[in-house]
């Protein structure tokens, strides 16, 4: 890995971390505003809130990771362009594709991570967060409409 590749990767990781942190913060603020009444009604403690958001955030990571990747990639390349670092790299014979090689590798790794989260962790985390929320708000341990949904096939008009 060349110095230029390390530089681009480190700059991207810094911006990616800030973007992901900001998106998670917005998610928590939005969810807290939506469920503030439930938290007050159930008398939720700080430990219960930390547990709830600890389960909620991994459930939303498959949606947040691509957005943070997109925003951070745009920001890093805009910064490189603003500082004329892309022009200097091209003058030295380094193509933009070569410059973004490790960002593409990071994007493929993040897409694999997103797939893995969607398959294994996200459904469990969402279910656990909903269970913690129902316990805090005093609504019992209901699991939602999907698990309580029953459908009987009609027998009319069949042979």
- 153 — pLDDT class (breaks 50, 70, 90): low
Measured between alpha carbons, how far is 77 from 85 in angstroms, rounded to an integer? 9
- Closest listed residue to residue 8, CA positions, set 108, 110, 103, 111: 103
Enumerate the H helices of 43-121 as residue ranges: 46-82, 85-91, 96-99, 101-116
Percentage, residues of the chain above pLDDT 90? 35
Q: What is the pLDDT of residue 158?
A: 60
pLDDT tens-digit series, residues 79-107: 999 999 888 888 988 888 888 898 999 99
Return contacts of 153-156, CB within 8 angstroms, 24+ apart. none
Q: What is the pLDDT of residue 41?
A: 81
Q: What is the pLDDT of residue 142?
A: 47
| Mean pLDDT computed over every residue of the chain | 84
- How many other CB atoms sit within 10 Å of the CB of residue 129? 21
The number of residues in the chain equals 159
Q: What is the pLDDT of residue 124?
A: 84
Phi and psi angles of residue 23, each rounded to the nearest 5 degrees, phi first: -65, -40
Q: What is the pLDDT of residue 157?
A: 64
Report angle CA 5, 7, 12 to the nearest 5 degrees: 95
| Global confidence as pTM | 0.76
pLDDT tens-digit series, residues 36-57: 887 888 787 888 888 888 888 9
For the chain, domain boundaries: 3-139
Measured between alpha carbons, how far is 63 from 118 in angstroms, rounded to an integer? 9
Average pLDDT over residues 135-144: 61
- 127 — pLDDT class (breaks 50, 70, 90): confident
């Amino acid at each position: 890995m060349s110095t230029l590749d390390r530089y681009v990767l480190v700059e991207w990781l810094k911006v990616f971390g800030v973007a992901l942190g900001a998106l998670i913060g917005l998610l928590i603020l939005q969810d807290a505003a939506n469920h503030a009444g439930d938290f007050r009604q159930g008398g939720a403690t700080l430990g219960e809130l930390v547990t709830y958001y600890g389960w909620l955030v991994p459930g939303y990571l498959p949606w947040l990771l691509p957005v943070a990747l997109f925003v951070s990639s745009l920001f890093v390349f805009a910064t490189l362009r603003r500082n004329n670092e892309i022009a200097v790299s091209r003058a030295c014979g380094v193509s933009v594709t070569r410059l973004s090689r490790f960002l593409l590798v990071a994007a493929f790794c993040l897409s694999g991570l997103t797939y893995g989260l969607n398959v294994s962790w996200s459904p469990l985390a969402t279910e656990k967060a909903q269970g913690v929320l129902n316990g805090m708000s005093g609504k019992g341990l209901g699991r939602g409409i999907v698990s309580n949904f029953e459908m009987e096939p009609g027998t009319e008009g069949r042979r």
